[in-house]
Structures are given as C-alpha cells and as structure tokens.
Amino acid sequence: MRLMKFSSFARCLRELESTASRKEMVGILAELLKRSSEEEVGKICYLCLGRLAPVYRSVEFNVAEKTMLKVLSFSFGVREDEVRSRYKKLGDLGSVAELLRGEYRGAGRGGDLEVAEVYNELLRIARDSGAGSQERKVHSLAALLRKLSPLGVRYCARIPLGQLRLGFSDVTLIEALAVMVGGGKEEVKFIRQKFNIRPDVGEIVRVIKLHGLEGLKEVGVEIGTPILPALAERMPTMEKIVEKLGEFAVEPKMDGIRLQIHLNKAVNGQPLVDSLESQRELFNEQGSKKESPGALVCIFSRRLDDVTDMFPDVVAAVQKLPVDSAIMDGEAIAYNPDTEEFLPFQETMKRKRKYNVAQKAAELPLKVFLFDLLFLNGKSLLETAFGERRRLLEKLVLDGNLLMAARHTKVNSARKLKKLFDLYISEGLEGVMCKRLDSPYQAGARNFNWVKYKRSAEGVGLPDTVDGLVMGYYAGRGQRAKFGVGAFLAGVFNPQKDRFETIAKVGTGLTDDQWREFSRRVGPLEVKAKPAEYCVAKELECDAWLRPGLVVEIDADEVTCSPVHTAARGLNIVRTGAENGAGLSLRFPRLVRFRDKLPEEATTVEEIMEMYRMQQT
C-alpha cells in the first residue's frame, strides 16, 4: 500500500471539519483508517487528535500560541503584529497560516510530503530542547510549513497547539475503528473497553490492522499502563441523587490531586511487568528505574501523566503493602501535621514538582485517601461491583499514616446524605462523592455511577455572588471568534482609592445569545486606553478596554489568594501562607447574569475580604 500524502490527509481533515454529524464523521474517519497502511495508521490517529503520542506518553512541544505566531511570521515573511491581528480576528492560527501560505510568493515548495514525514519532523522538533531550542523550533516549523500546501499548513499549524478543532476526539475515532472492520455497537463497546485500559488509539488501531479484533482480546490490564480514570457527574439536589442512585455509598470529596497508583512486586526476583521501562525506551525517555528491591511502583495523574518521581513518600508507603500487585485510585492532599488540618489546593499543588522533591515532601506531608481498587494480585477488578472492590480495598493493610482508605458510608436517604455532607463541609472539605454500590469501575466514563455534590452546588459557591464591573474583554478563539469576545475581565470597587481592582476573568456561563448581548452592550463603552482608575496586572492586559458601565453577577466556588489579581491587595488581611502583595481572586468564576447596576454599586474589596475570611472558618 502506498503511503498517504499529507495533502490528501489534509483534504480529509477539511471534510471532517465541515461535517457536523458525528455519524458522518465516523464514516469519513473509517474510510481514512482503511486507506492507511499499518506503518502509518498509528501516526495518522495521533495527528488527527492533535498529538504525536498517546496521552500517557505525551510529547511536550513547548510550542504554543505565542511561539506559533513567531513561526508564521518567520515562515511567510509577515510582521508579527500583522499575524497577531489576523489571529485576533479569525480566532484560529490554522486559518491564519492557511491564508498566509496562500499569499506567500517565496520559493520553497518541496514535493508532496507524506504524512509520516510530517509526523517524523514534528516529533523531531518536539523533542528538541535546551539552549537555543526555541529558535531551532521556530525555524524548523517554519521550514516545514513552507513545504506544505495551504490546506496542509492549516492543519499542521494546529498540531503543536494540541487541538485540531475538528469536532471529534478519541471516542469518535474508536467508533470509526469499529466501522472500519465492519462492526456495530457491540464492537464499539469492545474496542472502547480495550481503549479504557490501554488508552492509546494508535496502538489499538495497529493491533486491529495486523490481527483484527481477535488480536485485541490479548490486551488486558497491565501494571505500568494507566487505566482511564472514572469521573463523576454532578446533580443539582441531594433528593435527585438519592432518586437516581438507589443504594449508594458516600465518601468525602477532598480538594487534592487524583492519583492512580500501580504496584508490582517481584516474583522470584523477577518483576512481573517490565513494560513500563521498555515502553519508555521506545520513546527515548530517560526514565530512571524506580524499583527498590522487588517492587515497582508507578503513579499516574488524572490525565495519565507519570508523576511517580514527584511522590517518593507515596512510593515508599505503597511498596510496603502486603500484596503482589495492585492498582489503586485515590486523592492526595497536603496537610499540617501539627493542626491535623488539610491544606488548600494551592499548597498541595506545590508537591507536583521535579526538583526539591524531598524537601517539599518534608514541608508538605501528604495523606493519600484511597477510594478504589482496580486490580489485585494479577486480576482485574474493573467488572467487580464497587461494594466488593471496596471490601477488598479495606483488606489491604494500609499504614494509616500516609495511606488511608477514604471514609465510606452506605446511605439510602437524602436525610443521611445531608448529614454526611454537613459533616464533611464542617471539616473544611469540598463536598461528597456518591457512588453506586453495584456498579463496575467505569474507566474513561463520566456518568451517574459516581455523582459529586460540592459545597458550591448549594445554589452559590460563595457566601454570596459577586457583582463585578466589566473592565475589558479578550478576543475569542474557535467558535467564540464570531462573537469577537471569548472572555472578559471583571473587577471590584475600592471606595477608599476610588478605583477598580481585578478579581477574575470570566469565560463561561454565557449562552451564545448572551455573548451577542455582551457585544451589543459593550460597544458604546469601548475606550482606546485602559482607564486610569483600573488597577490591572500586565498579564491581564485586555484586547479592548471599557469605561465603567456594565456590571455582571458572577458566581464562583471560592475566594483565593492571587499572585496576579489586584482585588484587596495591600489591605491587611490575615492569610495563611500568602506573601504580602497578594490580591484576591475567584476560583472557577462564571457569569450568572447581567445586572442593571451602577459601577460604584459593584461589590467592594471589603466585601470580598469578608467573603475570604468567612470561608476560612
């Protein structure tokens, strides 16, 4: 079979981009996969998804928006501010690149590259690092783009940004795999199950091409290969949760970092699995061995990043577990051993690091609350009911110091649920997780087997919503480009200084109609320069500034200390662990509605401080 040309691939992507129906997309994708040969089909899958490798071995490009502007400028000899202004208007670097390529009259059209050649070059560029690498990346990407057709450039330029914006992702691609082999719903389900335990579409399609669906049967849960984590849905009220779940258990929801922990002990001095290391070699990584005598531990984040090196304390504790092999799901959170209090998410995040790991581990000891067991002593438990998985989890002898089982209470009424919810909130936790006792571990799925109910679900996350002044806005990308807005900057009023200080950017909560309304309302307020009474960090510089006029109601989950937002900065606040000069901001801000209020009637910095104090207790 001939290798596919990139131009041909690009035409297929254009067809996909202009297709809205998922059914049709599946058909087009199936045809594309059928047309590609074994050697290239994996690469084609990754490229389709805007990647170069499966998520769990993600290749960091270290090239994104800003660098791509430079690439386009350099590649097609257009001033950078010209590229930037086109980008602001179109909201998509692929479209900008395509136009510039079309207008480009310079030499440099090489022959028609194959998809695999483009892939290989992108991978080479991504892997470049160290001194001078940024410049080399810009030059290499620019040279690559010049070798492609305008349509090829459109998609090639989007790949380093990690998304092709074609309207499909992993799941749709899997459906296409099933269709490729002439399968139906059953086959989709089968392939998806395999994908959940081997989240690598490229690998799965290679297996199917070589050995058919039969070959996929060999794929099982493997220590060292992450399983897609199960995710929780949300519901508006506790009554609805009880109604929906029937018999379920309640666990506290901790505000930490999700960890999937794999353990494999040696049998007769032989590690049961060596795939982790061999797979790393395949991708030329310098993965250091983490085996202490006989026990391999690896830890994955929610997005399947290998974070083993960041948690040596967890590794040590897990190695002591009296089992041959296991995969556990849990949440890690930093705590203060003197007060026994859990620390805010921002503190836990400091444990996610590459350097000074041991020092930080001592400063910020962790608790890991295990809440699920997916694999034990060589056997997958994914199909085992949650109640039984939980029973097995409790039989593991956890050390009770770092490793603990999450508290777990069977519940069948809204009254009991409410009681537990109140208890956990009083302990300063985020809320509760409600889990069906009879459900399997639904890897990769966000569904109603698990339902989260957070503090913020109680109508509002904060003691009250915030009325913020809209100070300016930012150009939208992708589908937001047509509104001319993608997000806006909101501020609160400081009456002492008679000025507005920023508290959040807001980019969600508006319907398409509200975005249009936003544009209408904001038009008459536009001014050329930032008003003098606005106190804004330079990182938050808006694309368009507005004089005071529009006030909006904003909800959020929490008020947090901020290194960039200026709200209440300089006021004497008692803050744990925050440096002087920090302001306040909102966590997960979203618009509730437009208000008809005067700018001076916006929430004041004192009121924000009061909200901040209230949540501390």
Partner DNA sequence: CCTGACTGCCC
Partner DNA sequence: ATTCTGC
Partner DNA sequence: GCAGAATGGGCAGTCAGG
- Nearest CB to DNA, comparing residues 323 and 485: 485
The two tokens of residue 158 are: 């989007």
| Longest CA pairwise span in the chain (Å) | 77
21 binds DNA (CB under 7 A): yes
In sequence order, which residues have a C-beta less than 8 Å from that of residue 549 and are 6 or more positions away? Answer: 470, 524, 525, 599
Choose among 116, 156, 163: nearest CA to 10: 156
Does residue 192 have a known ligand-binding role? no
- Candidates 479, 496, 576, 616; binder of DNA (CB under 7 A) is 479
Whether 253 is a known active-site residue: answer: yes
7 binds DNA (CB under 7 A): no
Three-class DSSP labels, 557-601:
CEEEEECCCCECCCCCCCCCCCCCCCEEEEECCEEEEEECCCHHH
215 binds DNA (CB under 7 A): no
Cβ–Cβ < 8 Å for 554, 486: no
- Nearest CB to DNA, comparing residues 23 and 415: 23
Minimal distance, residue 112 CB to DNA, in Å: 27
- Candidates 477, 484, 534, 604; binder of DNA (CB under 7 A) is 477
Does residue 239 have a known ligand-binding role? no
- Candidates 65, 81, 464, 610; binder of DNA (CB under 7 A) is 65
Q: Which of residues 584-603 bind DNA (CB under 7 A)?
A: 585-590
The two tokens of residue 199 are: 């989240």
Does residue 88 have a known ligand-binding role? no
162 binds DNA (CB under 7 A): yes
509 binds DNA (CB under 7 A): yes
Count CA atoms closer than 13 A to 528's CA, side-chain side: 0
- Candidates 8, 301, 409, 519; binder of DNA (CB under 7 A) is 301
Kindly write out the interface string for residues 485-504 of this chain, putting x where it contacts DNA by CB under 7 A and - elsewhere.
-xx----------------x
CA atoms of 9 and 531, how far apart (whole Å): 49
Place of tokens 């990182």: 539
Q: Hey, what's the torsion of the CAs at 529, 534, 538, 541, to 10 degrees?
A: -50
- Candidates 512, 526, 600, 610; binder of DNA (CB under 7 A) is 512
- Candidates 350, 419, 499, 595; binder of DNA (CB under 7 A) is 350
Question: What is the Cα gyration radius of the chain?
Answer: 26
CB atoms within 10 A of CB 247: 12
- Nearest CB to DNA, comparing residues 323 and 510: 510
- The catalytically annotated residue of 43, 194, 253, 290 is 253
Three-class DSSP labels, 319-385:
HCCCCCEEEEEEEEEEEECCCCEECCHHHHHCCCCCCCHHHHHHHCCEEEEEEEEEEECCEECCCCC
513 binds DNA (CB under 7 A): yes
Q: Which of residues 442-461 bind DNA (CB under 7 A)?
A: 445-448, 454, 456
140 binds DNA (CB under 7 A): no
Cβ–Cβ < 8 Å for 397, 322: yes
Does residue 446 have a known ligand-binding role? yes
Number of chain residues interacting with DNA (CB under 7 A) = 95
Q: Which of residues 369-428 bind DNA (CB under 7 A)?
A: none
- Nearest CB to DNA, comparing residues 275 and 479: 479
Minimal distance, residue 270 CB to DNA, in Å: 30
Does residue 593 have a known ligand-binding role? no
Q: Which of residues 246-265 bind DNA (CB under 7 A)?
A: 255-258
568 binds DNA (CB under 7 A): no
φ, ψ for residue 466, nearest 5 deg: -110, 135
Cβ–Cβ < 8 Å for 141, 63: yes
- Candidates 37, 85, 163, 412; binder of DNA (CB under 7 A) is 163
- Candidates 46, 104, 168, 369; binder of DNA (CB under 7 A) is 168
Minimal distance, residue 461 CB to DNA, in Å: 8
Minimal distance, residue 173 CB to DNA, in Å: 7
Active-site residue list: 253
